[in-house]
Amino acid sequence: MTVLATLRGFERDLGGGFRVRRMLPALARRSVGPFVFFDHFGPITVEPSSDVDVRPHPHIGLATVTYLFEGAMMHRDSLGSVQRIEPGAINWMSAGRGIVHSERRPADLATRRYSLHGLQLWTALPHAHEESLPNFAHTPAAALPEFEDGGATIRLLVGAAWGRKSPVVTLAATLYAVLRLRRGGAVAIPPIAEELAVYAADQAIEIDGSPVDAHTLAIVEAARPCALRAAVGDANVVLIGGDRPDGPRKLWWNFVSSRPERIEAAARDWQAGRMARIAGESEFIPLPANAPGRN
């Protein structure tokens, strides 16, 4: 049996009715490879009156990875980065010792109806880089390898596999790919990572003949090849994996660290307004009431 466990996740409201399916972290599984967080949002129809903006908020000790199937978002951060992200591209933001960013509706879509559908994942930074300088990199869709294999179109977002390599630079072995499986089509997945999970983003699939429902993250035996098949219709499938973190990590709110006291310090810094600001932004997401170290 290739499937070791399945995670159904849970829904979470990020504010204003903007709901996500959170697959990681879960009680049954805290991480897959370096990935410690996995949110799937949409597809949703965004109306001019919809509130889908994510106001400025901080991060430490992690890298955010944003990918869109549909729609567009505008990224701004405290480094001065201003970047529109559209389907097929990758935004990789390494927080290191601390960064603040927002993700908002682009101005040209303010009065339009459109569909928004995508993923945001976080990876834990290696211990030696938790306090590194923050940085941001955008890789357009045209720069990422895309190819046919069996019954699937594969876009390699991060890492190396199938004899190809993504140009996205990471600090640890990381694999992230999106497959478009045609109805009835199948594709073989070789052993390509130390840990590996398969996410059925919109349709039920089969893994070595075992059914996996839509919106389910299946942890697979990474050392063995497996076969994916689109059982019902054309299916978007996401592969994530890589080397597991080099030691335990604590995750609270938007912070990841190997040291609980570092998360407490970051919470105090955000509460006191000591973290960097985004030029032109005055809004912010306040610290949650259950901040560590509060009485």
CATH fold for domain 3-242: Jelly Rolls (2.60.120)
What pLDDT, in 10s, does the model give residues 137-164? Answer: 999 999 999 999 999 999 999 999 999 9
User: What integer best gives the mean pLDDT of the chain?
Assistant: 95
Question: What DSSP string runs through 13-32?
Answer: E-STT-EEEEEES-SS-S-B
What pLDDT, in 10s, does the model give residues 20-38? Answer: 999 999 999 999 999 999 9
Q: Residue 231 has which token pair?
A: 């059982």
Look at residue 294 in the predicted model and tell me its pLDDT.
58
Domain ranges in the chain are 3-242
CA atoms within 13 A on the CB side of 125: 27
Q: Which residue has the higher pLDDT, 19 or 215?
A: 215
Q: pTM value?
A: 0.96
pLDDT beyond 60 at 10? yes
Instruction: Write the DSSP symbol of residue 262.
Output: H
What pLDDT, in 10s, does the model give residues 181-234? Answer: 999 999 999 999 999 999 999 999 999 999 999 999 999 999 999 999 998 899
- β strands within 14-151, DSSP E: 19-24, 35-46, 54-59, 62-70, 73-77, 82-85, 90-94, 99-104, 114-124, 135-139, 146-149
What pLDDT, in 10s, does the model give residues 76-117? Answer: 999 999 999 999 999 999 999 999 999 999 999 999 999 999
